[in-house]
Chains A and B, each alone.
Chain A
Protein backbone atom coordinates (compact mmCIF):
# COMPACT_ATOMS: atom_id res chain seq x y z
CA UNK A 1 0.00 0.00 0.00
CA UNK A 2 2.78 2.37 0.88
CA UNK A 3 4.50 1.43 -2.33
CA UNK A 4 1.46 2.70 -4.16
CA UNK A 5 1.49 5.93 -2.24
CA UNK A 6 5.19 6.37 -2.92
CA UNK A 7 4.91 5.88 -6.63
CA UNK A 8 1.88 8.13 -6.74
CA UNK A 9 3.85 10.96 -5.23
CA UNK A 10 6.81 10.48 -7.47
CA UNK A 11 4.78 10.32 -10.61
CA UNK A 12 2.23 12.94 -9.80
CA UNK A 13 2.39 14.56 -13.19
CA UNK A 14 2.06 11.31 -15.06
CA UNK A 15 -0.83 10.23 -12.94
CA UNK A 16 -2.65 13.44 -13.71
CA UNK A 17 -2.00 12.90 -17.37
CA UNK A 18 -3.49 9.47 -17.35
CA UNK A 19 -6.41 10.07 -15.05
CA UNK A 20 -8.80 12.03 -17.28
CA UNK A 21 -8.90 9.37 -19.95
CA UNK A 22 -9.49 6.62 -17.44
CA UNK A 23 -12.29 8.54 -15.82
CA UNK A 24 -13.78 9.43 -19.16
CA UNK A 25 -13.84 5.89 -20.43
CA UNK A 26 -14.99 4.43 -17.15
CA UNK A 27 -17.71 7.03 -16.99
CA UNK A 28 -19.07 6.12 -20.36
CA UNK A 29 -18.79 2.42 -19.75
CA UNK A 30 -20.69 2.85 -16.51
CA UNK A 31 -23.38 4.90 -18.23
CA UNK A 32 -23.72 2.37 -21.01
CA UNK A 33 -23.87 -0.61 -18.74
CA UNK A 34 -26.16 1.01 -16.24
CA UNK A 35 -28.70 2.24 -18.70
CA UNK A 36 -28.64 -0.84 -20.87
CA UNK A 37 -29.29 -3.07 -17.91
CA UNK A 38 -31.79 -0.84 -16.22
CA UNK A 39 -33.70 0.05 -19.37
CA UNK A 40 -33.90 -3.49 -20.57
CA UNK A 41 -35.13 -4.65 -17.22
CA UNK A 42 -37.72 -1.91 -16.91
CA UNK A 43 -41.09 -2.73 -18.27
CA UNK A 44 -43.25 0.22 -19.24
CA UNK A 45 -46.88 -0.74 -19.36
CA UNK A 46 -49.25 0.93 -21.85
CA UNK A 47 -50.40 3.14 -19.02
CA UNK A 48 -46.84 4.27 -18.41
CA UNK A 49 -46.51 2.40 -15.15
CA UNK A 50 -42.97 1.23 -14.67
CA UNK A 51 -41.96 -2.08 -13.23
CA UNK A 52 -38.38 -2.79 -12.27
CA UNK A 53 -36.89 -5.27 -12.42
CA UNK A 54 -38.82 -7.15 -14.97
CA UNK A 55 -37.93 -9.63 -17.64
CA UNK A 56 -40.99 -8.88 -19.70
CA UNK A 57 -39.03 -6.94 -22.29
CA UNK A 58 -36.94 -9.95 -22.96
CA UNK A 59 -40.01 -12.11 -22.96
CA UNK A 60 -41.66 -10.03 -25.62
CA UNK A 61 -38.54 -9.88 -27.68
CA UNK A 62 -37.95 -13.59 -27.69
CA UNK A 63 -41.51 -14.19 -28.74
CA UNK A 64 -41.73 -11.55 -31.39
CA UNK A 65 -41.46 -12.72 -34.99
CA UNK A 66 -39.78 -9.47 -35.96
CA UNK A 67 -36.94 -10.19 -33.63
CA UNK A 68 -36.51 -13.68 -34.95
CA UNK A 69 -36.39 -12.34 -38.52
CA UNK A 70 -33.95 -9.64 -37.53
CA UNK A 71 -31.75 -12.15 -35.77
CA UNK A 72 -31.76 -14.55 -38.67
CA UNK A 73 -31.08 -11.76 -41.12
CA UNK A 74 -28.15 -10.59 -39.03
CA UNK A 75 -26.78 -14.09 -38.77
CA UNK A 76 -26.99 -14.57 -42.51
CA UNK A 77 -25.50 -11.15 -43.06
CA UNK A 78 -22.50 -12.07 -40.95
CA UNK A 79 -22.05 -15.57 -42.35
CA UNK A 80 -22.22 -14.44 -45.96
CA UNK A 81 -20.54 -11.08 -45.56
CA UNK A 82 -17.45 -12.03 -43.61
CA UNK A 83 -16.06 -14.53 -46.13
CA UNK A 84 -16.91 -12.08 -48.90
CA UNK A 85 -14.88 -9.38 -47.23
CA UNK A 86 -12.03 -11.80 -46.70
CA UNK A 87 -12.12 -12.80 -50.35
CA UNK A 88 -12.22 -9.21 -51.57
CA UNK A 89 -9.37 -8.23 -49.27
CA UNK A 90 -7.36 -11.28 -50.33
CA UNK A 91 -7.80 -10.47 -54.00
CA UNK A 92 -6.66 -6.90 -53.45
CA UNK A 93 -3.72 -7.95 -51.28
CA UNK A 94 -2.52 -10.53 -53.78
CA UNK A 95 -2.84 -8.02 -56.60
CA UNK A 96 -0.66 -5.54 -54.76
CA UNK A 97 1.80 -8.15 -53.57
CA UNK A 98 3.39 -8.44 -56.94
CA UNK A 99 6.18 -5.96 -57.49
CA UNK A 100 5.19 -3.60 -60.23
CA UNK A 101 5.81 -0.03 -61.10
CA UNK A 102 2.65 1.77 -60.14
CA UNK A 103 2.23 -0.24 -56.99
CA UNK A 104 2.04 2.74 -54.64
CA UNK A 105 -0.55 4.53 -56.74
CA UNK A 106 -2.72 1.46 -57.09
CA UNK A 107 -2.57 0.88 -53.37
CA UNK A 108 -3.77 4.43 -52.79
CA UNK A 109 -6.58 3.83 -55.25
CA UNK A 110 -7.61 0.71 -53.41
CA UNK A 111 -7.84 2.63 -50.17
CA UNK A 112 -10.35 5.11 -51.61
CA UNK A 113 -13.52 3.21 -50.59
CA UNK A 114 -12.48 3.62 -46.98
CA UNK A 115 -12.23 7.35 -47.47
CA UNK A 116 -15.80 7.79 -48.61
CA UNK A 117 -18.24 8.28 -45.72
CA UNK A 118 -20.41 5.20 -45.33
CA UNK A 119 -23.52 7.25 -45.58
CA UNK A 120 -22.48 8.68 -48.92
CA UNK A 121 -21.72 5.23 -50.28
CA UNK A 122 -25.13 4.07 -49.21
CA UNK A 123 -26.80 6.97 -50.97
CA UNK A 124 -24.80 6.39 -54.13
CA UNK A 125 -25.98 2.81 -54.13
CA UNK A 126 -29.52 4.02 -53.66
CA UNK A 127 -29.19 6.05 -56.82
CA UNK A 128 -27.45 3.31 -58.76
CA UNK A 129 -29.95 0.64 -57.86
CA UNK A 130 -33.02 2.74 -58.44
CA UNK A 131 -36.16 1.11 -59.73
CA UNK A 132 -37.26 1.11 -62.47
CA UNK A 133 -34.54 2.92 -64.34
CA UNK A 134 -31.45 3.13 -62.25
CA UNK A 135 -28.14 2.43 -63.91
CA UNK A 136 -27.82 -1.11 -62.71
CA UNK A 137 -31.23 -1.98 -64.02
CA UNK A 138 -30.44 -0.33 -67.30
CA UNK A 139 -27.24 -2.27 -67.67
CA UNK A 140 -28.85 -5.59 -66.82
CA UNK A 141 -31.68 -4.93 -69.20
CA UNK A 142 -29.12 -4.64 -71.94
CA UNK A 143 -29.90 -1.03 -72.71
CA UNK A 144 -26.24 -0.15 -73.01
CA UNK A 145 -24.03 -1.36 -75.77
CA UNK A 146 -21.42 -3.01 -73.63
CA UNK A 147 -23.58 -5.44 -71.71
CA UNK A 148 -25.95 -8.17 -72.83
CA UNK A 149 -29.54 -8.45 -71.73
CA UNK A 150 -29.63 -10.56 -68.61
CA UNK A 151 -33.11 -9.86 -67.29
CA UNK A 152 -36.39 -9.01 -68.98
CA UNK A 153 -38.00 -6.80 -66.38
CA UNK A 154 -36.27 -4.32 -64.12
CA UNK A 155 -35.61 -5.52 -60.58
CA UNK A 156 -36.97 -3.67 -57.62
CA UNK A 157 -34.01 -3.77 -55.35
CA UNK A 158 -35.91 -2.63 -52.34
CA UNK A 159 -38.67 -5.07 -52.74
CA UNK A 160 -37.37 -8.14 -51.02
CA UNK A 161 -35.10 -8.81 -48.10
CA UNK A 162 -32.76 -10.71 -50.34
CA UNK A 163 -32.14 -7.85 -52.72
CA UNK A 164 -32.25 -5.03 -50.24
CA UNK A 165 -29.93 -6.67 -47.75
CA UNK A 166 -27.83 -7.92 -50.61
CA UNK A 167 -27.22 -4.42 -51.85
CA UNK A 168 -26.35 -3.20 -48.38
CA UNK A 169 -23.96 -6.13 -48.03
CA UNK A 170 -22.40 -5.10 -51.31
CA UNK A 171 -21.94 -1.57 -50.06
CA UNK A 172 -20.43 -2.71 -46.79
CA UNK A 173 -17.99 -5.07 -48.46
CA UNK A 174 -17.02 -2.43 -51.00
CA UNK A 175 -16.37 0.12 -48.33
CA UNK A 176 -14.39 -2.07 -45.97
CA UNK A 177 -12.32 -4.21 -48.30
CA UNK A 178 -9.26 -1.94 -47.92
CA UNK A 179 -9.06 -2.86 -44.24
CA UNK A 180 -8.92 -6.57 -44.99
CA UNK A 181 -6.42 -5.84 -47.71
CA UNK A 182 -4.10 -3.97 -45.35
CA UNK A 183 -4.19 -6.66 -42.69
CA UNK A 184 -3.52 -9.41 -45.23
CA UNK A 185 -0.74 -7.43 -46.87
CA UNK A 186 0.99 -7.10 -43.54
CA UNK A 187 0.73 -10.85 -43.13
CA UNK A 188 2.05 -11.56 -46.62
CA UNK A 189 4.98 -9.25 -46.07
CA UNK A 190 6.01 -11.04 -42.93
CA UNK A 191 6.89 -14.21 -44.80
CA UNK A 192 10.54 -13.94 -45.66
CA UNK A 193 12.08 -15.21 -48.85
CA UNK A 194 14.63 -17.19 -46.89
CA UNK A 195 12.01 -19.56 -45.63
CA UNK A 196 10.93 -20.41 -49.13
CA UNK A 197 14.55 -20.94 -50.15
CA UNK A 198 15.23 -23.15 -47.17
CA UNK A 199 12.17 -25.22 -48.01
CA UNK A 200 13.44 -25.60 -51.55
CA UNK A 201 16.75 -26.96 -50.43
CA UNK A 202 14.84 -29.49 -48.39
CA UNK A 203 12.95 -30.70 -51.41
CA UNK A 204 9.70 -28.70 -51.37
CA UNK A 205 7.87 -27.88 -54.60
CA UNK A 206 5.32 -25.10 -55.18
CA UNK A 207 2.36 -26.92 -53.74
CA UNK A 208 4.22 -27.95 -50.62
CA UNK A 209 5.56 -24.46 -50.15
CA UNK A 210 2.03 -23.08 -50.29
CA UNK A 211 0.56 -25.67 -47.97
CA UNK A 212 3.26 -25.73 -45.32
CA UNK A 213 4.57 -22.17 -45.41
CA UNK A 214 2.29 -19.63 -47.07
CA UNK A 215 -1.03 -20.85 -45.77
CA UNK A 216 -0.08 -21.44 -42.12
CA UNK A 217 1.88 -18.21 -41.95
CA UNK A 218 -1.00 -16.31 -43.48
CA UNK A 219 -3.52 -17.92 -41.17
CA UNK A 220 -3.04 -15.46 -38.29
CA UNK A 221 -3.82 -12.57 -40.63
CA UNK A 222 -6.79 -14.41 -42.08
CA UNK A 223 -8.04 -15.16 -38.58
CA UNK A 224 -7.68 -11.52 -37.59
CA UNK A 225 -9.61 -10.44 -40.64
CA UNK A 226 -12.39 -12.96 -40.05
CA UNK A 227 -12.85 -12.09 -36.41
CA UNK A 228 -12.65 -8.33 -36.77
CA UNK A 229 -14.83 -8.16 -39.84
CA UNK A 230 -17.43 -10.48 -38.40
CA UNK A 231 -17.74 -8.19 -35.39
CA UNK A 232 -18.21 -5.30 -37.78
CA UNK A 233 -20.89 -7.18 -39.68
CA UNK A 234 -22.89 -7.68 -36.51
CA UNK A 235 -22.54 -4.00 -35.69
CA UNK A 236 -23.54 -2.74 -39.12
CA UNK A 237 -26.14 -0.02 -39.09
CA UNK A 238 -25.70 2.63 -41.75
CA UNK A 239 -26.02 0.56 -44.91
CA UNK A 240 -29.13 -1.36 -43.90
CA UNK A 241 -30.60 1.84 -42.46
CA UNK A 242 -30.45 3.65 -45.78
CA UNK A 243 -30.93 0.78 -48.13
CA UNK A 244 -33.08 -1.79 -46.40
CA UNK A 245 -34.89 -0.24 -43.51
CA UNK A 246 -37.87 -2.46 -43.81
CA UNK A 247 -35.89 -5.66 -43.55
CA UNK A 248 -34.45 -5.52 -40.14
CA UNK A 249 -31.07 -6.47 -39.01
CA UNK A 250 -30.55 -6.36 -35.27
CA UNK A 251 -29.03 -2.88 -35.51
CA UNK A 252 -31.83 -1.32 -37.51
CA UNK A 253 -34.36 -3.21 -35.41
CA UNK A 254 -33.03 -1.47 -32.33
CA UNK A 255 -33.40 1.89 -34.04
CA UNK A 256 -36.95 1.16 -35.09
CA UNK A 257 -37.87 0.07 -31.58
CA UNK A 258 -36.38 3.21 -30.12
CA UNK A 259 -37.50 5.86 -32.56
CA UNK A 260 -40.60 4.59 -34.30
CA UNK A 261 -42.23 2.46 -31.67
CA UNK A 262 -40.79 4.28 -28.67
CA UNK A 263 -40.03 1.07 -26.86
CA UNK A 264 -36.85 1.98 -25.07
CA UNK A 265 -36.88 -1.06 -22.87
CA UNK A 266 -37.15 -3.52 -25.71
CA UNK A 267 -34.54 -1.62 -27.69
CA UNK A 268 -32.19 -1.95 -24.75
CA UNK A 269 -33.02 -5.63 -24.45
CA UNK A 270 -32.18 -6.28 -28.09
CA UNK A 271 -28.97 -4.31 -27.59
CA UNK A 272 -27.94 -6.56 -24.75
CA UNK A 273 -28.74 -9.63 -26.79
CA UNK A 274 -26.74 -8.23 -29.69
CA UNK A 275 -23.70 -7.71 -27.49
CA UNK A 276 -23.93 -11.30 -26.33
CA UNK A 277 -24.23 -12.45 -29.91
CA UNK A 278 -21.05 -10.60 -30.80
CA UNK A 279 -19.10 -11.99 -27.89
CA UNK A 280 -20.40 -15.50 -28.39
CA UNK A 281 -19.81 -15.57 -32.11
CA UNK A 282 -16.29 -14.17 -31.79
CA UNK A 283 -15.40 -16.69 -29.12
CA UNK A 284 -16.69 -19.50 -31.29
CA UNK A 285 -14.79 -18.21 -34.32
CA UNK A 286 -11.64 -17.86 -32.28
CA UNK A 287 -11.85 -21.44 -31.06
CA UNK A 288 -12.67 -22.74 -34.51
CA UNK A 289 -9.76 -20.99 -36.17
CA UNK A 290 -7.40 -22.28 -33.55
CA UNK A 291 -8.40 -25.85 -34.33
CA UNK A 292 -7.82 -25.22 -38.02
CA UNK A 293 -4.38 -23.79 -37.41
CA UNK A 294 -3.26 -26.73 -35.31
CA UNK A 295 -4.74 -29.21 -37.72
CA UNK A 296 -2.87 -27.77 -40.65
CA UNK A 297 0.58 -28.62 -39.38
CA UNK A 298 0.92 -31.94 -37.69
CA UNK A 299 3.57 -34.49 -38.25
Chain B
Protein backbone atom coordinates (compact mmCIF):
# COMPACT_ATOMS: atom_id res chain seq x y z
CA UNK B 1 0.00 0.00 0.00
CA UNK B 2 1.45 3.44 -0.84
CA UNK B 3 2.58 5.33 2.28
CA UNK B 4 0.03 8.14 1.92
CA UNK B 5 -2.86 5.70 1.93
CA UNK B 6 -1.45 3.93 5.01
CA UNK B 7 -1.04 7.19 6.90
CA UNK B 8 -4.53 8.36 6.12
CA UNK B 9 -5.95 5.04 7.29
CA UNK B 10 -4.24 5.45 10.66
CA UNK B 11 -5.35 9.05 10.87
CA UNK B 12 -8.90 8.07 9.99
CA UNK B 13 -8.82 5.38 12.69
CA UNK B 14 -7.63 7.87 15.27
CA UNK B 15 -10.26 10.36 14.23
CA UNK B 16 -12.97 7.74 14.46
CA UNK B 17 -11.66 6.83 17.92
CA UNK B 18 -11.74 10.47 18.95
CA UNK B 19 -15.31 10.90 17.71
CA UNK B 20 -16.55 7.77 19.43
CA UNK B 21 -14.78 8.77 22.67
CA UNK B 22 -16.42 12.18 22.48
CA UNK B 23 -19.85 10.69 21.89
CA UNK B 24 -19.53 8.23 24.76
CA UNK B 25 -18.21 10.87 27.17
CA UNK B 26 -20.99 13.22 26.17
CA UNK B 27 -23.56 10.49 26.67
CA UNK B 28 -22.21 9.78 30.13
CA UNK B 29 -22.50 13.42 31.15
CA UNK B 30 -25.95 13.55 29.53
CA UNK B 31 -27.13 10.49 31.41
CA UNK B 32 -26.26 12.06 34.75
CA UNK B 33 -28.00 15.29 33.72
CA UNK B 34 -31.03 13.33 32.56
CA UNK B 35 -31.31 11.41 35.82
CA UNK B 36 -31.19 14.54 37.89
CA UNK B 37 -33.44 16.59 35.63
CA UNK B 38 -36.10 13.98 35.03
CA UNK B 39 -37.58 14.27 38.49
CA UNK B 40 -37.56 18.03 38.28
CA UNK B 41 -39.17 17.97 34.84
CA UNK B 42 -42.01 15.87 36.18
CA UNK B 43 -42.54 18.07 39.22
CA UNK B 44 -42.15 21.39 37.52
CA UNK B 45 -43.86 20.39 34.32
CA UNK B 46 -46.96 18.96 35.89
CA UNK B 47 -47.43 20.86 39.12
CA UNK B 48 -45.63 24.10 38.34
CA UNK B 49 -43.75 23.92 41.62
CA UNK B 50 -40.26 25.37 41.44
CA UNK B 51 -38.53 22.86 43.66
CA UNK B 52 -35.24 24.33 44.83
CA UNK B 53 -34.84 21.42 47.22
CA UNK B 54 -34.37 19.07 44.27
CA UNK B 55 -30.61 19.02 44.77
CA UNK B 56 -31.17 17.96 48.37
CA UNK B 57 -33.27 14.99 47.19
CA UNK B 58 -30.26 13.99 45.11
CA UNK B 59 -28.05 14.37 48.18
CA UNK B 60 -30.46 12.34 50.33
CA UNK B 61 -30.38 9.52 47.79
CA UNK B 62 -26.59 9.48 48.01
CA UNK B 63 -26.65 9.46 51.82
CA UNK B 64 -29.25 6.69 51.85
CA UNK B 65 -26.94 4.64 49.64
CA UNK B 66 -24.07 5.31 52.04
CA UNK B 67 -26.14 4.51 55.11
CA UNK B 68 -27.49 1.26 53.67
CA UNK B 69 -24.01 0.23 52.66
CA UNK B 70 -22.27 1.17 55.88
CA UNK B 71 -24.78 0.12 58.49
CA UNK B 72 -26.69 -2.72 56.84
CA UNK B 73 -24.18 -3.82 54.25
CA UNK B 74 -26.40 -3.77 51.17
CA UNK B 75 -24.54 -3.04 47.95
CA UNK B 76 -25.49 -0.24 45.61
CA UNK B 77 -27.39 -2.12 42.93
CA UNK B 78 -29.42 -4.11 45.41
CA UNK B 79 -30.40 -1.03 47.35
CA UNK B 80 -31.64 1.08 44.42
CA UNK B 81 -35.32 0.21 44.91
CA UNK B 82 -35.06 0.87 48.63
CA UNK B 83 -33.40 4.22 48.01
CA UNK B 84 -36.17 5.19 45.59
CA UNK B 85 -38.77 4.36 48.21
CA UNK B 86 -37.00 6.23 51.01
CA UNK B 87 -36.50 9.45 49.11
CA UNK B 88 -39.98 9.22 47.57
CA UNK B 89 -41.40 8.92 51.05
CA UNK B 90 -39.47 11.97 52.16
CA UNK B 91 -40.73 13.85 49.08
CA UNK B 92 -44.27 12.82 49.86
CA UNK B 93 -43.95 14.12 53.42
CA UNK B 94 -42.55 17.43 52.20
CA UNK B 95 -45.38 17.74 49.73
CA UNK B 96 -48.02 17.18 52.35
CA UNK B 97 -46.49 19.52 54.90
CA UNK B 98 -45.15 22.35 52.78
CA UNK B 99 -45.95 22.26 49.07
CA UNK B 100 -49.61 21.42 49.30
CA UNK B 101 -50.49 24.87 50.53
CA UNK B 102 -48.55 26.68 47.86
CA UNK B 103 -49.82 25.46 44.52
CA UNK B 104 -51.30 28.80 43.58
CA UNK B 105 -48.31 30.76 44.86
CA UNK B 106 -45.26 29.95 42.72
CA UNK B 107 -43.04 32.63 44.26
CA UNK B 108 -43.72 31.27 47.70
CA UNK B 109 -42.78 27.78 46.59
CA UNK B 110 -39.35 29.11 45.70
CA UNK B 111 -38.84 30.39 49.22
CA UNK B 112 -40.38 27.37 50.88
CA UNK B 113 -38.42 24.77 48.93
CA UNK B 114 -35.20 26.76 49.38
CA UNK B 115 -35.85 26.64 53.11
CA UNK B 116 -36.52 22.92 53.00
CA UNK B 117 -33.26 22.48 51.12
CA UNK B 118 -31.24 24.38 53.70
CA UNK B 119 -32.85 22.48 56.56
CA UNK B 120 -32.19 19.15 54.87
CA UNK B 121 -28.52 20.05 54.33
CA UNK B 122 -27.95 21.04 57.94
CA UNK B 123 -29.94 18.11 59.29
CA UNK B 124 -27.74 15.70 57.35
CA UNK B 125 -24.69 17.57 58.61
CA UNK B 126 -25.83 17.16 62.19
CA UNK B 127 -26.83 13.51 61.81
CA UNK B 128 -24.14 12.17 59.56
CA UNK B 129 -21.33 14.68 60.02
CA UNK B 130 -19.84 16.98 57.42
CA UNK B 131 -17.00 14.84 56.15
CA UNK B 132 -16.94 13.31 52.68
CA UNK B 133 -18.47 9.86 52.67
CA UNK B 134 -17.57 6.84 50.61
CA UNK B 135 -20.03 4.74 48.62
CA UNK B 136 -18.44 1.64 47.17
CA UNK B 137 -18.72 1.04 43.46
CA UNK B 138 -20.28 -2.36 42.76
CA UNK B 139 -17.38 -4.70 42.05
CA UNK B 140 -19.05 -6.13 38.97
CA UNK B 141 -18.96 -2.69 37.37
CA UNK B 142 -15.69 -1.45 38.79
CA UNK B 143 -13.48 -2.11 35.81
CA UNK B 144 -13.39 -0.59 32.37
CA UNK B 145 -14.79 -2.32 29.33
CA UNK B 146 -14.08 -1.95 25.68
CA UNK B 147 -16.96 -0.43 23.75
CA UNK B 148 -16.47 0.03 19.99
CA UNK B 149 -12.75 -0.16 20.61
CA UNK B 150 -12.82 2.54 23.27
CA UNK B 151 -12.03 1.89 26.91
CA UNK B 152 -14.90 3.21 29.04
CA UNK B 153 -15.93 2.81 32.60
CA UNK B 154 -18.45 -0.01 32.89
CA UNK B 155 -20.25 1.86 35.64
CA UNK B 156 -20.83 4.89 33.43
CA UNK B 157 -22.38 2.66 30.77
CA UNK B 158 -24.60 1.16 33.48
CA UNK B 159 -25.72 4.65 34.54
CA UNK B 160 -26.45 5.49 30.90
CA UNK B 161 -28.55 2.37 30.42
CA UNK B 162 -30.41 2.97 33.67
CA UNK B 163 -31.08 6.61 32.78
CA UNK B 164 -32.64 5.66 29.48
CA UNK B 165 -34.62 2.88 31.17
CA UNK B 166 -35.97 5.25 33.81
CA UNK B 167 -36.89 7.70 31.11
CA UNK B 168 -38.76 4.90 29.37
CA UNK B 169 -40.58 3.98 32.58
CA UNK B 170 -41.51 7.61 33.20
CA UNK B 171 -42.77 8.05 29.66
CA UNK B 172 -44.83 4.91 29.95
CA UNK B 173 -46.21 6.12 33.27
CA UNK B 174 -47.19 9.45 31.81
CA UNK B 175 -48.67 8.34 28.55
CA UNK B 176 -49.83 4.78 28.91
CA UNK B 177 -51.33 4.49 32.39
CA UNK B 178 -54.46 5.91 33.86
CA UNK B 179 -52.39 7.63 36.53
CA UNK B 180 -50.54 9.46 33.79
CA UNK B 181 -53.75 10.39 32.09
CA UNK B 182 -55.16 11.84 35.28
CA UNK B 183 -51.92 13.73 35.84
CA UNK B 184 -52.04 15.22 32.37
CA UNK B 185 -55.68 16.13 32.88
CA UNK B 186 -54.90 17.95 36.12
CA UNK B 187 -52.00 19.72 34.48
CA UNK B 188 -54.21 21.08 31.76
CA UNK B 189 -56.94 22.31 34.03
CA UNK B 190 -57.05 21.42 37.69
CA UNK B 191 -60.58 22.56 38.49
CA UNK B 192 -62.23 20.88 35.54
CA UNK B 193 -60.33 17.66 36.17
CA UNK B 194 -61.44 17.70 39.80
CA UNK B 195 -64.98 18.17 38.59
CA UNK B 196 -64.51 14.90 36.72
CA UNK B 197 -63.80 13.14 39.99
CA UNK B 198 -60.00 13.05 39.88
CA UNK B 199 -58.46 13.44 43.32
CA UNK B 200 -55.93 16.11 42.42
CA UNK B 201 -54.35 16.25 45.89
CA UNK B 202 -53.48 12.58 45.82
CA UNK B 203 -52.15 12.74 42.28
CA UNK B 204 -49.97 15.72 43.11
CA UNK B 205 -48.55 14.01 46.19
CA UNK B 206 -47.72 10.88 44.26
CA UNK B 207 -46.16 12.90 41.45
CA UNK B 208 -43.98 14.86 43.82
CA UNK B 209 -42.95 11.68 45.55
CA UNK B 210 -42.08 10.07 42.20
CA UNK B 211 -39.98 13.07 41.16
CA UNK B 212 -38.20 13.02 44.49
CA UNK B 213 -37.56 9.29 44.20
CA UNK B 214 -36.01 9.77 40.77
CA UNK B 215 -33.73 12.44 42.19
CA UNK B 216 -32.73 10.08 45.00
CA UNK B 217 -31.83 7.41 42.47
CA UNK B 218 -29.72 9.96 40.62
CA UNK B 219 -27.83 10.74 43.80
CA UNK B 220 -27.24 7.10 44.59
CA UNK B 221 -26.00 6.36 41.08
CA UNK B 222 -23.67 9.33 41.02
CA UNK B 223 -22.12 8.68 44.43
CA UNK B 224 -19.58 5.96 43.47
CA UNK B 225 -18.10 8.30 40.89
CA UNK B 226 -17.84 11.26 43.17
CA UNK B 227 -18.18 11.70 46.88
CA UNK B 228 -21.05 12.22 49.25
CA UNK B 229 -21.20 15.49 51.16
CA UNK B 230 -24.04 17.65 52.48
CA UNK B 231 -23.48 20.35 49.85
CA UNK B 232 -23.35 18.06 46.85
CA UNK B 233 -26.90 18.89 45.83
CA UNK B 234 -26.51 22.59 45.13
CA UNK B 235 -24.69 22.17 41.82
CA UNK B 236 -27.18 19.56 40.66
CA UNK B 237 -30.23 21.76 41.10
CA UNK B 238 -28.66 24.39 38.82
CA UNK B 239 -27.89 21.79 36.16
CA UNK B 240 -31.37 20.31 36.44
CA UNK B 241 -33.07 23.65 35.94
CA UNK B 242 -30.85 24.37 32.97
CA UNK B 243 -31.95 21.13 31.34
CA UNK B 244 -35.62 21.68 32.07
CA UNK B 245 -35.64 25.30 30.94
CA UNK B 246 -33.80 24.48 27.74
CA UNK B 247 -35.88 21.45 26.94
CA UNK B 248 -39.17 23.10 27.51
CA UNK B 249 -41.62 22.71 30.32
CA UNK B 250 -44.04 19.80 30.28
CA UNK B 251 -42.07 18.00 27.61
CA UNK B 252 -40.39 14.73 28.48
CA UNK B 253 -38.90 14.53 25.02
CA UNK B 254 -37.53 18.02 25.58
CA UNK B 255 -35.81 16.86 28.78
CA UNK B 256 -34.01 13.96 27.15
CA UNK B 257 -33.11 16.03 24.10
CA UNK B 258 -31.74 18.94 26.07
CA UNK B 259 -29.74 16.74 28.43
CA UNK B 260 -28.24 15.00 25.40
CA UNK B 261 -27.38 18.33 23.77
CA UNK B 262 -25.99 19.88 26.95
CA UNK B 263 -24.00 16.77 27.82
CA UNK B 264 -22.43 16.42 24.40
CA UNK B 265 -21.64 20.12 24.04
CA UNK B 266 -20.13 20.31 27.53
CA UNK B 267 -18.05 17.19 26.94
CA UNK B 268 -16.87 18.41 23.56
CA UNK B 269 -15.93 21.90 24.75
CA UNK B 270 -14.31 20.57 27.91
CA UNK B 271 -12.08 18.28 25.89
CA UNK B 272 -10.86 20.94 23.51
CA UNK B 273 -10.61 23.77 26.02
CA UNK B 274 -11.29 23.12 29.69
CA UNK B 275 -14.20 22.62 32.05
CA UNK B 276 -14.41 26.24 33.20
CA UNK B 277 -14.76 27.58 29.68
CA UNK B 278 -17.16 24.79 28.78
CA UNK B 279 -19.47 25.57 31.67
CA UNK B 280 -19.41 29.30 31.03
CA UNK B 281 -20.05 28.90 27.31
CA UNK B 282 -22.92 26.50 27.83
CA UNK B 283 -24.60 28.85 30.30
CA UNK B 284 -24.15 31.74 27.92
CA UNK B 285 -25.57 29.77 25.03
CA UNK B 286 -28.64 28.81 27.03
CA UNK B 287 -29.25 32.43 28.01
CA UNK B 288 -29.13 33.45 24.36
CA UNK B 289 -31.39 30.62 23.30
CA UNK B 290 -33.95 31.42 25.97
CA UNK B 291 -33.91 35.04 24.90
CA UNK B 292 -35.05 34.07 21.45
CA UNK B 293 -37.17 31.07 22.33
CA UNK B 294 -38.41 31.44 25.90
CA UNK B 295 -40.52 28.34 25.81
CA UNK B 296 -37.50 26.13 25.34
CA UNK B 297 -36.78 23.76 22.50
CA UNK B 298 -39.73 21.45 22.60
CA UNK B 299 -42.50 23.14 24.45
CA UNK B 300 -46.05 23.43 23.29
CA UNK B 301 -46.82 26.45 25.39
CA UNK B 302 -45.07 29.34 27.10
CA UNK B 303 -44.14 29.28 30.76
CA UNK B 304 -46.54 31.69 32.43
Query: Are A and B bound to each other?
Result: no
Contact residues of B with A, CB < 8 Å?
A: none
Q: Which residues of A contact B (CB under 8 A)?
A: none
